[in-house]
């Protein structure tokens, strides 16, 4: 006989609960009708958090509430639940590894549906030239935000469990860290957030009754659904929206369960809201990896690098240097929060706790440290599966047993390359704990952050852009960041390989007007007593006339890092060109390079290309940034044009 309990809510409504069907039976008196707290204790949350949770629970009307503690047993429970729901399958070849396949309509960040909602449009995006559509972020007026919100969120979690995830971006308690509370109805998101951020009750203790970033996420498919979700992956692509309300420190994401759309600590918090906090508080929130490199003399330096999505941050952050005697250690592979300390030294932390890395292209040859990181406790999404219970994607052809059969990410059995479509989605990813990476830096969780010696920008530039060049000074370096361009990748919904502007690799992640962002970067150049890092630009992706990469890349990139570090030490190994300093003849260490390279071709600066590049940048700045472009950046562009003309 089920036990029935008759309860009275705060508003006097009577309701009946079947206690035995609950996991941890507990009824709350919050006025949220029929809501059962199945895990955790709502009454023990501090007032601000409790108010937020109750407020959103009333709105979204989930059946159950689960307050996450981040424990191992909680994780086991969630994995089991997803297994039962058919949302994940085990990859039996490894320990505690899982494969999720999404609805094929939900596979990447949706930049066109991602908005910042601020009172004034100019807070969010530069005012473009007349008649030009802005591409530096999407603005939503508070009224339209309200309409979009009302259309979607009421009742959106009916029949589901709302999970409450307290998480810290950055080491718990570090002065550089920030705390968020994510509410979500996706157990997959809980499992990934637990890998990507520091989740648990300690976070709530540290938070006390302070402000936090409010992160509301729903897959946008209340139960019962009319049809069975594809791949048991509920989502609502027709109504997807990812909205940020900086005034309230709030993020509201509806309809997508994947990646940056749903793991709200990552792009939404650490970059979009983060960049706003950074501007306000005088620091920088950037789409950058952080690595430490030690030379054969034992001298260590830390560098940070901004490359657009799927352009090699994870690879560089974890590289095995081919240069003998060098060691690279990883602090972070995607996001960097940095701040000048009292002595004027720039210090960086990785606000994340895991890697959400691009799977295709990752192999023992290209990134052994990533491969070693994903042998256990890893959630794979949209990769292919082998008949012996392993993972597969493009790039692993030589690393899986020859006799295994492959099932593609779309569930096609006996997949072969002849199918003509990739086995894994190009934006398929692994999600694993950072501490599993064999080369994590001893200081990767240092609450003070690591000292930064150099800032590197880069992108996929098949033509014209040399392997490495150095900015003349801070202001020129900021211009180089602003002028960054790169081939589109599968990390977002873009089609084809067009060269897109992607300033600072932040185009999809600016939380505020890019013109103001540039002013913020420039402001450090005018401050006294700052030990400004040198700024560089790299390009691993230049191609020859046969469409082949001219540079072997990966571990060989250590040669470029070595040159950069020697420049930081002030070595006389650079020669001036129109675009910046490039290595003097013979100064780049190319001894025992795996494949011969044509250095002349790698560093060639075709005048017509650079004339055209200047025109492109000019057009972009004048159309997209228009009157918000700082004078200093126009001056830098004019100077570049002048120098190129004289080439």
Footprint of ligand GTP on this chain (CB under 6 A)? 307, 309-315, 333-334, 357-358, 360-361, 366, 491, 540-541, 549, 553-554, 557
Catalytic residue among 266, 429, 507, 520: 429
- Is residue 562 annotated as part of the catalytic site, yes or no? no
- Pick from 306, 307, 270, 317: nearest CA to 440: 317
Q: Which stretch binds Mn ion (CB under 5 A): 151-159, 184-192, 211-219, 328-336?
A: 328-336
Residue 309 Cβ, how far from ligand SPV at the closest point, in Å?
A: 3
Q: Percentage helix, strand, coil, to 5, in the chain? A: 30, 25, 45
* For ligand SPV, the closer CB: 252 or 491: 491
**254, 124 contact by CB (below 8 A):** no
Stretch that binds Mn ion, among 296-304, 326-334, 457-465, 632-640 (CB under 5 A): 326-334
Picked from Mn ion, ligand GTP, ligand SPV, none, the partner binding residue 314 (CB below 5 to 8 A depending on kind) is: ligand GTP
**Contact partner at residue 260 from ligand SPV, ligand GTP, Mn ion, none, CB < 5 to 8 Å by partner kind:** ligand SPV
Catalytic residue among 97, 311, 432, 614: 311
Residue with tokens 């058919």: 86
DSSP bridge partners of 501: 485
309 is catalytic: yes
Q: Which residue pairs from 139-142 have beta carbons closer than 8 angstroms and sit at least 24 positions apart in sequence?
A: 139/115, 140/115, 140/116, 140/243, 141/117, 142/117, 142/118, 142/245
Residue 454 Cα distances to 16, 499, 534, 567, angstroms:
63, 26, 5, 10
Q: Which residue matches tokens 């086995």?
A: 423
Note if 311 is an active site residue. Answer: yes
> Which of Mn ion, ligand SPV, ligand GTP, none lies near 267, with the C-beta cut-off 5 to 8 A by kind?
ligand SPV
> Out of 39, 160, 272, 287, which one is annotated catalytic?
287
Q: Which does 311 bind (CB under 5 to 8 A by kind): Mn ion, ligand SPV, ligand GTP, none?
A: ligand GTP
By C-beta, is 292 or 357 nearer to ligand SPV?
A: 357
Among Mn ion, ligand SPV, ligand GTP, none, the one that 87 touches (CB under a kind-dependent 5 to 8 A) is: none
For binding to ligand SPV (CB under 6 A), which residues are involved?
A: 109, 259-260, 266-267, 309, 334, 356, 491
In contact, 96 and 189? CB cutoff 8 Å: no
Name the phi and psi angles at 331, rounded to 5: -105, -40
Is 109 tagged catalytic?
Answer: yes
**DSSP H stretches of helix in 15-129:** 47-60, 72-85, 121-124
Query: In the complex with ligand GTP, which residue's Cβ is closer, 302 or 541?
Result: 541
Using the minimum distance from each CB to Mn ion, give the nearer residue, 180 or 229. 180
Query: What is the 8-class DSSP label of residue 109?
Result: B
The CA–CA distances, whole Å, from 21 to 162, 219, 638 equal: 17, 24, 71
Please pick, among 103, 106, 185, 334, the residue that the annotation labels catalytic.
334
Least distance to ligand SPV, CB of residue 334, Å? 5
Of 244 and 267, CB closest to ligand SPV: 267
334 touches Mn ion by CB under 5 A: yes
Dihedral sign for Cα 581, 584, 587, 589, please. positive
Find out whether the peptide bond into 32 is cis, omega within 30 degrees of 0: no
| Catalytic-residue membership of 614 | no
User: Looking at 39, 66, 267, 485, which residue is catalytic?
Assistant: 267
514, interface contact from ligand SPV, ligand GTP, Mn ion, none, CB < 5-8 Å by kind: none
Per the listing, tokens 């600590």 go with 265
| Least distance in angstroms from the C-beta of 544 to Mn ion | 28
Compare residues 336 and 468 and give the one whose CB is closer to Mn ion. 336
Q: State yes or no: is 52 an active-site residue.
A: no
Strands (E), 323-423: 327-332, 336-340, 346-349, 354-358, 379-381, 384-386, 391-392, 406-407
Residue 563 interacting entry, from ligand GTP, ligand SPV, Mn ion, none, C-beta within 5 to 8 Å by type: none
Q: Is 485 a catalytic residue?
A: no
Which one, 126 or 274, has the nearer CB to ligand GTP? Answer: 274
Q: Which is nearer to ligand SPV, 334 or 556 (CB)?
A: 334
Side-chain-side CA neighbours of 223 within 13 Å: the count stands at: 14
Min dist CB 540 to ligand GTP, Å, is 4
Nearer to ligand SPV, 489 or 599 (CB): 489
Three-state DSSP class for residue 631: helix
Contact status, residue 191 vs residue 99, Cβ threshold 8 Å:
no
For residue 389, give Cα distances in angstroms to 94, 227, 325. 8, 30, 38
CA–CA dist 198, 528 (Å, integer): 36
Locus of tokens 């920030």: 178
Q: Single out the catalytic residue among 163, 258, 512, 581.
A: 258
Q: How far is the CB of 309 from Mn ion (least distance, A)?
A: 5
Among ligand SPV, ligand GTP, Mn ion, none, what does residue 180 contact (CB within 5–8 Å per kind)? none
Q: Which of 411, 440, 433, 434 is nearest to 423 (CA)?
A: 411
Q: Catalytic annotation on 429?
A: yes
Residue 106 or 286 having the CB closest to Mn ion: 286
Q: Which stretch binds Mn ion (CB under 5 A): 170-178, 305-313, 347-355, 618-626?
A: 305-313
Among ligand GTP, ligand SPV, Mn ion, none, partner that 266 touches (CB below 5 to 8 angstroms by kind): ligand SPV
DSSP conformation letters of 167-201: EEESSTT-TT-EEEEEEES-HHHHHHHHHHSEESH
Q: Which residue among 66, 109, 178, 272 is the active-site one?
A: 109
Which range touches Mn ion (CB under 5 A), out of 5-13, 203-211, 239-247, 334-342? 334-342
Contacting residues toward Mn ion, per CB under 5 A: 309, 334
Tell me which residues are annotated as active site: 109, 258, 267, 287, 309, 311, 334, 429
């Amino acid at each position: 006989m089920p036990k029935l309990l008759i309860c009275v809510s705060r508003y006097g409504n009577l309701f009946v609960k079947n206690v035995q069907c609950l996991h941890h039976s507990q009824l709350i008196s919050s006025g949220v009708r029929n809501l059962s707290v199945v895990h955790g204790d709502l009454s023990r949350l501090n007032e601000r958090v409790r108010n937020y949770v109750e407020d959103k629970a009333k709105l979204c009307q989930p059946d159950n509430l689960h307050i996450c503690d981040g424990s191992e047993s909680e994780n086991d429970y969630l994995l089991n639940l997803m297994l039962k729901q058919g949302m994940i399958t085990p990859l039996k070849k490894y320990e505690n590894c899982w494969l999720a396949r999404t609805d094929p309509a939900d596979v990447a960040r949706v930049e066109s549906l991602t908005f910042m909602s601020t009172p004034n449009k100019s807070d969010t995006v530069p005012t473009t030239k007349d008649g030009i559509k802005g591409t530096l972020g999407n603005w939503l007026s508070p009224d339209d935000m309200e309409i979009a919100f009302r259309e979607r969120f009421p009742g959106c979690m009916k029949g589901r469990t709302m999970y409450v995830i307290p998480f810290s971006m950055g080491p718990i308690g570090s002065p550089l860290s920030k705390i968020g509370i994510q509410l979500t109805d996706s157990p997959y998101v809980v499992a990934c957030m637990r890998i990507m951020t520091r989740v648990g009750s300690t976070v709530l203790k540290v938070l006390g009754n302070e402000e936090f970033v409010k992160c509301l996420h729903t897959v946008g498919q209340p139960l019962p659904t009319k049809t069975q979700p594809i791949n048991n992956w509920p989502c609502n692509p027709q109504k997807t929206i990812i909205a940020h309300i900086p005034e309230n420190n709030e993020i509201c994401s509806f309809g997508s369960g994947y990646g940056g759309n749903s793991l709200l600590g990552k792009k939404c918090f650490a970059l979009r809201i983060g960049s706003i906090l950074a501007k306000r508080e005088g620091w920088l929130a950037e789409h950058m990896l952080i690595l430490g490199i030690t030379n054969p003399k034992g001298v260590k330096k830390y560098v940070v690098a901004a490359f657009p999505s799927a352009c090699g941050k994870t690879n560089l952050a974890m590289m095995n240097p081919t240069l003998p005697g060098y060691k690279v250690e990883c602090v972070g592979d995607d996001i960097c929060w940095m701040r000048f300390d009292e002595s004027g030294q720039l210090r960086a932390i990785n606000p994340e706790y895991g890697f959400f890395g691009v799977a295709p292209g990752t192999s023992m040859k290209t990134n052994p440290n990533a491969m070693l990181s994903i042998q256990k406790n890893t959630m794979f999404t949209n990769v292919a599966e082998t008949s012996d219970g392993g993972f597969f994607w493009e790039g692993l052809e030589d690393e899986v047993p020859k006799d295994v059969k492959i099932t593609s990410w779309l569930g096609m059995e006996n997949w072969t390359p002849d199918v003509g479509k990739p086995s894994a989605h190009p934006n398929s990813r692994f999600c694993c704990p950072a501490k599993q990476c064999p080369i994590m830096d001893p200081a990767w969780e240092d609450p003070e952050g690591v000292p930064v010696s150099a800032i590197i920008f880069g992108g996929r530039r098949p033509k014209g852009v040399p392997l490495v060049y150095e900015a003349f000074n801070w202001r020129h370096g900021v211009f180089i960041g602003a002028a960054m361009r790169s081939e589109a990748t599968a990390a977002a919904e873009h089609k084809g390989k067009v060269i897109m502007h992607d300033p600072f690799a932040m185009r999809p992640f600016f939380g505020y007007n890019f013109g103001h962002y540039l002013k913020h970067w420039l402001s450090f150049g005018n401050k006294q007593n700052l030990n400004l890092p040198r700024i560089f630009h790299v390009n691993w992706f230049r191609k020859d006339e046969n469409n082949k990469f001219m540079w072997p890349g990966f571990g060989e990139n250590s040669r470029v890092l070595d040159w950069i570090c020697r420049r930081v030490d002030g070595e006389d190994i650079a020669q001036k060109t129109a675009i910046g300093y490039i290595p003097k003849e013979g100064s780049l260490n190319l001894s025992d390079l795996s494949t011969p390279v044509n250095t002349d071709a790698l560093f060639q600066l075709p005048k017509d290309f650079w004339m055209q590049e200047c025109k492109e940048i000019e057009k972009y700045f004048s159309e997209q940034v228009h009157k918000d472009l700082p004078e200093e950046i126009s001056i830098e562009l004019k100077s570049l044009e002048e120098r190129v003309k004289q080439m």
